[in-house]
Amino acid sequence: MKRISHDLPGVTQRIARLRDDLSQAAANTQQIWCDDKGRQFFQQHIADVAPTLSQLISSLTQSVEQFEDIAKKVLDPDQNS
């Protein structure tokens, strides 16, 4: 049986970085866009982004662990390589 390598941790990490970068950029921009339209924009379009991505990241972190556990359990102990 061929072992499998995957990039789920890498994808998870990159999505987390995207979330953090956007949050930082939004925080910086909120300081210079101070009117009602700005507040409304961040509330309507940006506020949900980080929580939504965080849910996915948390779920992916769990999936990576679950998959590693499965991969170990289905290995053939008698297989040389």
What is the nearest approach in angstroms of another protein to the Cβ of residue 80? 14
- Work out whether 50 is an interface residue with another protein (CB under 8 A): no
Q: Residues binding another protein: what is the number (CB under 8 A)?
A: 44
What is the nearest approach in angstroms of another protein to the Cβ of residue 24? 9
Q: Which two tokens stand for residue 75?
A: 């290995």
Separation between Cα atoms, residue 76 and residue 81, nearest integer Å: 9
Q: Which is nearer to another protein, 11 or 81 (CB)?
A: 11
Q: What length is written for the chain?
A: 81
